[in-house]
């Protein structure tokens, strides 16, 4: 891979570093307020890899005790279209989540298929509660019946990268969220 300035591939910045800081602080406060009186352990479940940057910042914006865990899933189906059936690539390290408050931390809610199935898989293990926290939400694209409990920002139907989000595994390390220039992925479509 050639080394060059990645920002040249960004059409427009949607969330600056400061916007992201403010957003994470706001969500962290909401989470603390909602869970501070719960007697159950709070487990933040980060969905790899897109949510790792958000997770790293969010957990530090939460000042009540919590645990962290990670899952990796892939959506697979016939050809290029996702069936919405989720295959677990890496499961939680925590064996028993029964009686815990689970908070799924995602980078972006798009069609919603991934989280819809992930929520069902986790629900079957009898946690006390399951909620969803997503940094970004693209409601126009939703096909699965799912909504997030905490949303950082609602964004238009554009392909975005940065702050953990990738295109072909690239741009995750950009410190802001930006719309990728369509010319970057035009050849791959
Ligand atoms: P869903 O099952 O369609 O909601 O898929 C959500 C997943 O698709 C996210 O966790 C991302 O990995 C990926 N995704 C959806 N939209 C974007 C985007 O604009 N940029 C980068 N990844 C995206
Ligand atoms: Mg993802």
Is 110 part of the annotated catalytic residue set?
yes
13 strand-pairing partners: 178
pLDDT, tens digit (0-9, with 9 covering 90-100), for 121-152 = 999 999 999 999 999 999 999 999 999 999 99
How far are the Cα atoms of 47, 68, 82, 152, 153 from residue 55, in angstroms, in the given order?
9, 9, 26, 12, 15
- Rounded CA-CA distance 70/44 in Å is 8
Ligand closest to the CA atom of residue 179:
1
Task: Report whether pLDDT(187) > 90.
Answer: no
- DSSP H or E run through 67: strand 67-76
Q: 40 C-alpha vs ligand 1 centroid, how far in Å?
A: 30
pLDDT at 82 over 70: no
| CATH number, domain 18-155 | 3.40.50.2020
**pLDDT tens per residue across span 156-169:** 999 999 999 999 99
Substitution candidate for ligand 1 out of 46, 55, 106, 107 with most atoms within 8 A of CB: 107
> Where in the chain are the domains?
18-155
């Amino acid at each position: 891979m050639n080394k060059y300035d990645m920002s040249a591939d960004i059409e427009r910045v949607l969330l600056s570093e400061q916007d992201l800081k403010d957003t994470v602080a706001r969500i962290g406060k909401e989470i603390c307020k909602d869970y501070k009186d719960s007697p159950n352990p709070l487990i933040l479940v980060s969905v790899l890899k897109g949510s790792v940057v958000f997770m790293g910042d969010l957990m530090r914006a939460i000042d009540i005790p919590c645990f962290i865990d990670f899952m990796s899933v892939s959506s697979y189906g016939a050809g290029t279209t996702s069936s919405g059936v989720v295959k677990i690539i890496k499961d939680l390290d925590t064996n028993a989540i029964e009686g815990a408050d689970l908070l799924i931390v995602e980078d972006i809610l798009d069609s919603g298929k991934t989280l819809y199935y992930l929520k069902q898989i986790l629900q079957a293990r009898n946690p006390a509660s399951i909620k969803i926290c997503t940094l970004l939400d693209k409601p126009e694209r939703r096909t699965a019946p799912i909504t997030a409990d905490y949303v950082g920002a609602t964004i238009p139907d554009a392909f975005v990268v940065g702050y953990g989000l990738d295109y072909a595994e690239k741009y995750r390390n950009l410190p802001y969220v930006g719309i990728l220039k369509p010319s970057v992925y035009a050849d791959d479509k």
